[in-house]
């Protein structure tokens, strides 16, 4: 695990494409495959409230990253009904299919949690989408639990 670098862009773009295609397949009313841009990547890398991590496959010794995680720190909105707090929000986590079930995703999450904790976060949150049973099972094995349900209705 290491912080992402500008030169990781092409490998991470490929990983994100796979994630975006999965989301578009699961929830086509919300997602569509799109080409992520390098300026977007550079903004992420330059954001002091964000973390971008990559994982390099230690077994095969490959140079291009085989896993990616992005996280942002958020403070609770100023609302008298909410308990103040700081959270780490996992925005993306993806591991190449051929490298799954080796602990890479768990190590990315653990490294991200350490980073968030060092910045005052007391909780990690993330979203999975209906139908992504593999991700749900993965996060549940790591101790994540459902916090809320988001409902929608077509108009």
Tens-digit pLDDT string for the chain (155 aa): 899 999 999 999 999 998 999 899 998 988 988 888 899 999 999 999 999 999 986 665 557 899 999 999 999 988 999 999 999 999 999 999 888 888 999 999 999 999 999 999 999 999 999 889 999 999 999 999 999 888 888 89
Cβ 15 vs Cβ 96: under 8 Å: yes
Q: How far apart are CA 114 and CA 3, in angstroms?
A: 13
Spacing of C-alpha 23 from chain mean position: 13
Measured in degrees and rounded to the nearest 5, phi and psi for residue 43 equal -65, -45
Q: How far apart are the C-alpha atoms of 25 and 124, rounded to whole Å?
A: 26
pTM for the model: 0.90
Hey, what domains does the chain have and what are their CATH numbers?
2-141 (3.40.630.30)
Joined together, the tokens standing for residue 150 give: 């988001």
């Amino acid at each position: 695990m290491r912080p992402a670098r500008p030169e990781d862009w092409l490998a991470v773009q490929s990983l994100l494409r796979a994630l975006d295609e999965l989301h578009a397949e699961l929830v086509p009313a919300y997602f569509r495959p799109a080409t992520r841009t390098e300026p977007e990547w550079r903004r992420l890398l330059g954001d002091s409230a964000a973390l971008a991590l990559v994982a390099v496959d230690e077994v095969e010794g490959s140079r291009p990253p085989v896993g990616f995680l992005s996280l942002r720190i958020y403070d609770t909105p100023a609302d008298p009904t909410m308990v103040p707090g700081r959270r780490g929000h996992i925005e993306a986590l993806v591991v190449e299919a051929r490298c799954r079930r080796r602990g890479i995703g768990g190590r990315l999450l653990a490294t991200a949690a350490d980073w968030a904790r060092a910045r005052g976060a007391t909780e990690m949150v993330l979203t999975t989408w209906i139908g992504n049973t593999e991700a749900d099972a993965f996060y549940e094995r790591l101790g994540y639990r459902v916090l809320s349900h988001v409902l929608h209705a077509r108009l």
